[in-house]
Amino acid sequence: MPNSKVIAQSLSEWFATEQGGYVLQRERAYFDRTVADIFGYNALQLGLPEHDFLSNSRMPLRFTAGNQPGNAVRLICAELPFASASLDLVLMPHLLEFAEHPHQILREAERVLMAEGNLILSGFNPFSLWGMHRALGRKQGVPWSGHFITLPRLKDWLALLGFEVVGGRFAAYAPPFRQQKWLERASFMERAGDRWWAVSGGVYFLHAVKRVPGMRLIKPRWNEGLVRKLLPVAPKLNKGTQKVEQDE
């Protein structure tokens, strides 16, 4: 597999093209809308430091991390140097499909997230016109050189780690044209995508929450009238009887 550092830099350069800009516009719209409604203190974006997808977040600490220049923290994504349960939000834009060990990256994300913490990621959909373009043998260059992960498989990985998918959507329904004029002519497919072929967008987004099972004591609400009927009634003693028993 190609070096992840080179891939990430090339992906950022691809976003600067007309084809990549078409995807970037839709990714930024989804991330801006989603992170604005998530509350907490610490938010991390893994990869693509040139694109601040956390700019709309209200969290006081927001930073990027990865092995590319420009990140606030230089690290290996499969070995996050953060304490367990220390982050409220982890955002992964197209990280897993270009990673050598995507399962390990998800495990690390689960570890550093607090209970009820949020994980948001994006990926290229192999069951789309974009995925078909890649399947036809056009795997040279980014993003076609990445490993497109199917959405059902990704959901299975998240479920095994204790995540619950609470949101998501598809986008980029137009064919992967390289020129802006052809992308604009295919804009009718974008408008009709959510209605007619919702699962065939070129890009998918997932919003998952880390669930931590716990135990809580639930006290029953007793029916006091029924309890009185079931319990035996103690015999009442008059004062004379009590006095005799005391004398004895």
| CA–CA dist 214, 45 (Å, integer) | 29
User: What secondary structure letter does DSSP report for 165?
Assistant: E
Q: What is the pLDDT of residue 187?
A: 78
Rounded mean pLDDT of the chain? 84
Q: Which helix (H) or strand (E) holds 214?
A: none
* Predicted pLDDT of residue 245: 46
At a CB cut-off of 8 Å and minimum separation 6, what does 243 contact?
none
pTM summary value: 0.80
CB 41 within 8 A of CB 61: yes
pLDDT tens-digit profile of 27-69?
Answer: 999 999 999 999 999 999 999 999 999 999 999 999 999 988 8
In this structure, is the dihedral angle defined by the CA atoms of residues 91, 29, 60 and 51, taken in order, positive or negative?
A: positive
Q: Mind listing the domains of the chain with CATH numbers?
A: 4-210 (3.40.50.150)
Q: Evaluate whether 104 touches 76 at the Cβ level (below 8 Å).
A: no
Helix axes 4-15 and 18-35, enclosed angle (nearest 10): 100
Categorize the per-residue pLDDT at 86 as very low, low, confident or very high, splitting at 50, 70 and 90.
Answer: very high
